[in-house]
A and B are shown apart, each in its own frame.
Chain A
Amino acid sequence: MPKKKTPFSKDTKFAELLTADRRLLQLLSRFGIGLGFGDRNVAQVCQMNQVNTDLFLMICEIYSDSSFTPGQTELGQIDMSDLLSYLKASHQYYLNERFPHIEEHLQRIIEACGKKYGPMLRHFYDEYKQEVKRHIQYYEEEVVFPYIEALFKGQRTDSYKIDEFEHNHTNIQDVLDDMMNILLKYLPGDILPKERIEISYDIIELSDDLNRHSLIEERILIPCVESLENALP
């Protein structure tokens, strides 16, 4: 099947971009792009909001076409601090918005489960939350990102190298899938079915978003850091 060419360029009307792929809506708050952009094009909107247009377009491409891999020249133009701010904003979005939203739904299901299944579901979720926090906060934000920031300033640290990077998002997605299977297939059918269907939509969306997030780390972040590492004496 021929791949449809993504219509994104600096001259694309910003609004068209969002109709082409609704998932790109999620990117607005992470880039700090406000609404009310009217008929302006991508370059204009990015400039108004002090967003790096190349990085923004590259991330849009990955969101709408998972096979997209930027070339060396494109990667060379990426500003590392912009990329890190984007990744941190995504982390905040997951930790402060998406996960609490899912947890809120889940809490109602847990309460409806009563003593028999409630505590074990709670335990399952709490353990998961710990793992997500460990990876995102204690690992990426406290180990990996500071390392990259130092590298960017030309300081070499021997304690870490990017090829040790934990590709842990797969685990995070696996457990989300497990959670959905438990909610749809295995919990007794009469416990809050409507709520369980709603939470499934949220889980599917989050899992998809996390998938793109790992692609961004694998195809943009890691190659960029590798060339920084190689550039140092």
Chain B
Amino acid sequence: MSNRVIICEASEIIAIGLAEIIDGMAQFDVVARLDSPEHLSEKITATDVNLLIIDPMLIGVSNKDFLAQLGKEHPQLTIIALATSYFDHAMLASYNGVIELYETRSKIISKMTEYTQSENTKNTDDVELSKRETDVLVAVAKGMMNKEIADQMNISIHTVISHRKNITRKTGIKSVSGLTVYALLNNLIDENELIP
């Protein structure tokens, strides 16, 4: 399946450079470049894109609302930040992914592929863990590996990884040890269940 991409970046030099890299990949098509987020939503509808790469600088501090609104209007859209300078983690957490200015071509290509494969990384509003996600979280907190979890729950490793991404997105916690603390605090597991 081909991905349709829009790039929203004020610097023409950067935008053209990035478009060149992305257009070099068979499964991606850059259909538009914008130098400001004005009319972005209309443009997305008009060109039927499923991937937006945007410089967080262009939307400023109000980015969370702007992104939430955009996500609501275009549920199919994956939004990637183009970090042209340093932004803190919290700010970038509202995006489905981040591309940094000094990344190599091959790194950008592998990131683009990864971001478009994870279908379930949308709906940034929804923070409740689903039943399935809670089960995966408990298993992770108990120290199980992805393969073991997949076998036990009868799902593919790919699905386990996708659940784990969602858990991290929803809780804001990335490390296994952090997830264990989260599970304990929310009484999802008991201390005695932990493998020392």
Contacts and interface: CB of A to CB of B under 8 A. Distances in A.
Interface of A: 1, 3, 65-67, 69, 117, 119-121, 123-124, 127-128, 171, 173-175, 177-179, 181-182, 185-187, 204, 207-208, 211, 219
Nearest to B178: A178
Contacts of A175: 174-175, 177-178
Interface residues of B, number: 23
Contacts of A119: 191
B86 A211 contact: yes
- Interface of A, secondary structure class, is helix
B134 interface: no
B175 A178 contact: yes
B177 A69 contact: no
A37 B171 CA distance: 47
Contacts of A185: 172
Contacts, number: 66
Given A67-B84, A182-B181, 14 more contacts: A1-B10, A1-B57, A66-B86, A67-B101, A117-B184, A120-B181, A120-B184, A120-B191, A174-B174, A181-B173, A181-B178, A182-B173, A182-B178, A182-B185
17 contacts: A66-B86, A117-B184, A120-B184, A121-B181, A124-B181, A171-B175, A175-B178, A177-B174, A178-B172, A178-B177, A181-B172, A182-B178, A182-B181, A182-B182, A182-B185, A186-B186, A207-B89
A139 to B, nearest CB: 18
Contacts of A67: 84-86, 101-102
Contacts of B184: 117, 120
B186 A173 contact: no
A179 B180 CA distance: 12
Interface string B87-100: 01100000000000
A119 B172 CA distance: 22
A173 B178 contact: no
B185 A186 contact: yes
A177 to B, nearest CB: 6
A3 B88 CA distance: 18
B147 to A, nearest CB: 21
Given A3-B85, A65-B85, A67-B86, A181 B171 contact: yes
B36 to A, nearest CB: 11
A173 B177 CA distance: 14
A121 B101 CA distance: 37
A174 B175 contact: yes
A220 to B, nearest CB: 13
A185 B174 CA distance: 14
Given A69-B102, A127-B177, A185-B172, A177 B89 contact: yes
Contacts of A127: 177
Interface in B38-65: 57
B128 to A, nearest CB: 14
Tell which of A123, A173, A207 has the most Cβ of chain B within 10 Å.
A123
A56 B191 CA distance: 49
Contacts of A174: 174-175
Contacts of A171: 175
A66 B87 CA distance: 9
Nearest to A125: B177
